[in-house]
Structure 1
Amino acid sequence: MDVSMTSRCPGLYCGRLLVNGSVEGECGVCPRGERANQEKVCERCDESPELYDWLYLGFMAMLPLVLHWFFIERFSGKKSSSALLQHVTAALECSVSALVTLLLTEPVGLLSIRSCRVQMLSDWYTMLYNPSPDYVHTLHCTQEAVYPLYTIVLIYYAFCLVMMMLLRPLLVKKIACGLGKSDRFRSIYAALYFFPILAVLQAVGGGLLYYAFPYIILVLSLVTLAVYMSVSKIQSFKTLVAKKKRLVVLFSHWLLHAYAIISISLLDKLEVALPLLALVPGPTLFYIATAKFTEPSRILSEGSSGP
């Protein structure tokens, strides 16, 4: 049967199965890994993710790692020598989890994935677009129209949690002897809270994050850099390069700035990504140039000397 001659299914995501060149069955949900095309026939997702899709996955993969590092630094203690090893272990856990997730995603065994192209925001929320042709019965066509960008993140979080539970408790118990028993596993306890939160965030707001993550990275990286430089009392290049840790923090934020700029350029289909990367050091230079004018002691002294 000619596909173009079949009756079209209602709704945005309902389709019929195509078997041996013929359209069969009633309108309904397409199998996982397929999506209804313009003729409302389920079609296998054989496209490769775009660069912007990979950057989105990279952002979602960075979230648990950044949270791990934050809570490790928060609960490791000022005199603890275990923080660096825990940081490395957290990075290893997330890296192995990402590798295993990619290998288990179709095509299995390869570090590549096949996907359906994201066309609009509604692709992430197909459950909200189940049609009711007779206004009485609802035709359920909920599916992963953005396969596998929705579920691959949840699978990755599951592997991160399993890897953490396998590796971190033994490591912390061995190297964190300088901490009290109640403090040793605080970073692990924190992860048991933020992983469910990240899963819910992906399940509910995955589509919004897909379009907003470049701006989230840019704003948060600018704010955290300004706060860090303010707390560290960095007001000149001399104080900036005085400690290696400060340079590591600075270059990490610069990488995030560049990541966000490239993502925004791809999202808005701009062709000026490379020239915009020259603006990456701009916030740092602006902060150092204007820090002396916002010094609280100077402002108070000038205020007290006034009329």
Structure 2
Amino acid sequence: MGPWRESVVFVLVESGPTSRMCVNAALNPLSSMTGCIWASWPCYPSCCTGSSSSGTQERRVFGLFSSSALLQHITAMLECSVSTVVTLLVTEPVGKLSIHSCRVQMLSDWYTMLYNPSPDYINTLHCTQEAVYPLYTIVLIYYAFCLVLMMLLRPLLVKKIACGLGKSDRFKSIYAALYFFPILTVLQAVGGGLLYYAFPYIILVLSLVTLAVYMSASEIQSFKNLIAKKKRLVVLFSHWLLHAYGIISISRLDKLEQDLPLLALVPGPALFYIATAKFTEPSRILSEGGNGH
């Protein structure tokens, strides 16, 4: 019947009182309007369902999309984890999950290229070396391994879940990574030193802002709303871990008896939000404003 197009079209096929959901490879742009004929159109077994109600069909389709997203997240975590381990193994000392680095004393240690000597102010000697080795280049190596593993593993995943995604959605995660990796590389190359000193504070601010945005979007105004869904607890604990990591990064736990009590501040932002959310309810503010209070 000629070459099949790569696009994937969901076609609803009527079969008596029941209907079937099938994912068909479209032969031409009009195929999605002409229907599906079982005798001539192939149906992929992993995407087809038997006779069932429309509600069951919708649940299966949405379940297919959610499982596809979960697989993509798991694959991304696997790529990042493997890249981290491989990066540590290839860095001195080779074969060990540890690094020997030069001590960072000041911000200028990250930008030695700006301090090339100029004897007699005539010729500049380009003898730049990485004074903070390997803290500067190890991040770039990590990004390189992430990119290589993504190009090796992600197409296999896309092929596996292709029946659950449209043609425009299959490679979105790959396209996004191809945009973000160059951006992250430039950020590391230009602002590596700034990120080294500021990342604990960046983590703290991001954890606070994202937690506030999430709780506001989810309309969490009490502990009852918070524990109503397991997903909310998972998000909350994830933010707490980030917050704790930021505190540990700042304090470095040099003095345990003084630094460990700081971890008690981790639940503070969430508790403060829940305690004050009722005072910032928009409907209440509007009602009080209308009454002249």
Q: TM-score, normalised by structure 2?
A: 0.75
Residue deviations 1:145-184, cap 9 Å, x none? Answer: 0000111110000000111111112212312523211012
Decide whether the 8 Å contact of 1:77 with 1:179 is kept in 2.
no
**Aligned to 1:86, which of 72, 75, 82?**
72
Task: Please tell me the residue identity of whatever aligns with 2:100.
Answer: R
Task: Report the AA paired with residue 136 of structure 2.
Answer: Y
Corresponding residue to 1:262 among 248, 266, 273: 248
Note the residue ranges of structure 2 that are not aligned, 5 or more in a row. Answer: 1-61
After the TM superposition, which residues 58-97 of structure 1 pair with which residues of structure 2 at under 5 Å, given as runs?
79-97=65-83
Residue of structure 2 in register with 1:102 after alignment = 88
Aligned positions, number:
231
Q: Does 1:141 align with 2:127?
A: yes
Partner of 2:190: 204
Identity of matched residues, %: 87
Structure 1 residues 110 and 288 mapped into 2: Cα distance closer, same or farther (>3 Å)? same
User: Which residue identity lines up with residue 218 of structure 2 in the other structure?
Assistant: S
- Following TM superposition, the consecutive aligned residue runs of length 4 or more in structure 1 with deviations greater than 6 angstroms are none
Separation of aligned partners in 1, 2:292 and 2:108: 60
Match of residue 250, structure 1, among 236, 251, 269: 236
Residues 80, 176 of structure 1: 8 Å contact kept: no
Q: Cα distance, 1:302 vs. partner? A: 1.3
Aligned residue type for 2:228: A
**1:189 and 2:175 matched:** yes
Cα displacement string for residues 64-110 of structure 1 (whole angstroms, at most 9, x for unaligned residues): xxxxxxxxxxxx99953212222111111111011111111112111
After superposition, residues 30-179 of structure 1 pair within 5 angstroms as 79-179=65-165
Give 1:126's aligned amino acid. T
Q: 1:148–1:191: structure 2 CA closer, same or farther, 3 Å change rule?
A: same
Output the aligned Cα RMSD.
1.9
Q: Which has the larger radius of gyration?
A: 2
The one-letter code matched in structure 1 to 2:165 is L
- 2:198 aligned with 1:236: no
Q: d(CA) in 1 for partners of 2:197 and 2:63?
A: 38
Contact 1:130-1:138 at 8 Å conserved across structures: yes
Please tell me the residue identity of whatever aligns with 1:99: V
Gaps of 5+ in 1: 1-75
